[in-house]
Structure 1
């Protein structure tokens, strides 16, 4: 089918916690303690309170920091995230940019995909009184920022970063995108019975790549498949040796997990090594700019997909698309991650009367929340903060600039749900 609509359903229970569908909690009067002295404390009231701002009568703003890849190898993903966040903020606040009269002020920090820069940027924002952080385009960044958020008791909403370890990492960390396990569950749906099959993962030797290897072993290995991996350094530009290793492994299924600017070189190498003629290849459908890179081999590949423009067919998706298009961009794979992050931020602040001072209250507001998102009905699982969501099987037809994706099958949130992870702290 060319598109899929996930219909909203009544509030249900997720695990032991009741799902909340948008009702407002009483305003919080108690201001939470400041974060660690190593980062610095904000004065009470500076991070968004219900008090009037002196004689002016205006309400204090709520500060939200975005730490994401504005530059670096994942800059295209970061741009989509930011575009989505702006659209989501407009949608969730009904065009006001405010919650209960408190303006939401956004500050951006460019991590360039470097965890050290991300940690520095996060600490800087926390020291200036920011109690909510969002972003993390790269998995390596998310895994370093999340502990900082926990140490300083601030809310952290990770973005496109897919590493499974982000889920359940600590009680202050949530996510607005999918995770590797959901990708692998979607990939597994292509091959049916995995028992006795050989699976090779071709990926970059990064947090993202390693997370995919672990997820394939957890899903397909548990079903009786033999799983090995070919890992390339993220800095590698000549990918022919790695394509050759993947072919030599003679797998029944080659699962390719790749991100960034070297994707074109990878698919060229796989084509030159004639890998498509010798094994079934499954990979994630990346951003729209990558579609022409597959060339004639595109129709030989089985694509799993987090999102592409038009995939969901929901009312919320249309609102996002209209907003993003009006701003001069187009919805793409990680636009919903930014949009969803903004929905989470606004809901948490709204549930606390326009305040972001009580982080524990922000966390409670998000745990178990079920809502209508771009891809359909989304649920923040209370037990570990996984974001339960549908995924797509996709076919890419045509080549070059004419390549177009269509949804072949929509997998429900329950079908691809990761196992519950115990929250570490």
Structure 2
């Protein structure tokens, strides 16, 4: 009888359209709602993926920089994630209670797992993984099908490390007169200063001018950043040896290579605040090569005392100018000599990092040739760039790294 009834209904042309519409309409409405919600879910998932990726990268870097424990890293990751999520997922239409509920859901749905593994020597590997499960409220259209929420899940893993790379490094630093010139960076501690000028009748007047950071001040800040990175990589001063020499048109007294960064940091700090003179890096580069060359067994002997059976040798050559000697004009002979010293050093297996800081074209040409490769050449044009360059060189040389691994 039921089959007969259904057969008659199906065959009834009078109300068939209305009946089918009544049957299919909820399904069609629900399908439309699901399509909208799936699109929204994909957007939310991409947003959350970016958040957890940035969180694990920041945490892995912080673990290495601050030598965090696993517990400290987990707490850092949670705090960092919620801070970023509060900004990235902000919805101005939400009430304070709704906002608090959203952040609680994000917090409850996130899980972090940090670990620290000791490797050879002072080496360590830092790992941080994060998973995120978050329920998205669906539109009213999907409610027709009985669907109220959709779960989105993302994960990320990042790793940083200190390989404990033994190295001997020599800095050849420019202290010529142009290093007293201003950069484009304003001194945030004192944004203006009084400048004297002649105002007629042999009188001296003063005017207020912008107080810029000088190149020498920038060099000292950048070198301090480098030494801080090297100290993090070798807190016990058992892997890293550093020395330095500065130059204008004369070669200054050098700081012999020694363990750690204490001596070289003092040397750089004591460079003249208002330097003068021309530019001639031949003496400093000669001293750098002589200190590091294979024929000089001092570094190999000192590294062996710390049971460092292998180590790398680096020169960091920095200038803001071109080779002029004791003049204001470019000296092709000095330029050629520096190029030859760079080649001699590289042929001996010494790696050269070269930094052309706000330098003219001839200075850039010289240093780009001196650098071991394009990865070893830097061309910063402001304070931030120089600090970043010195910091990156330290991390590269000490082989500390942070990367996303998933």
TM-score, normalised by the number of residues in structure 2: 0.30
Higher relative contact order (CA 8 A, sep 6+): 1
Greater strand percent: which structure? 2
Greater helix percent: which structure? 2
TM-score, normalised by the number of residues in structure 1: 0.29
Q: Greater Rg, structure 1 or structure 2?
A: 2
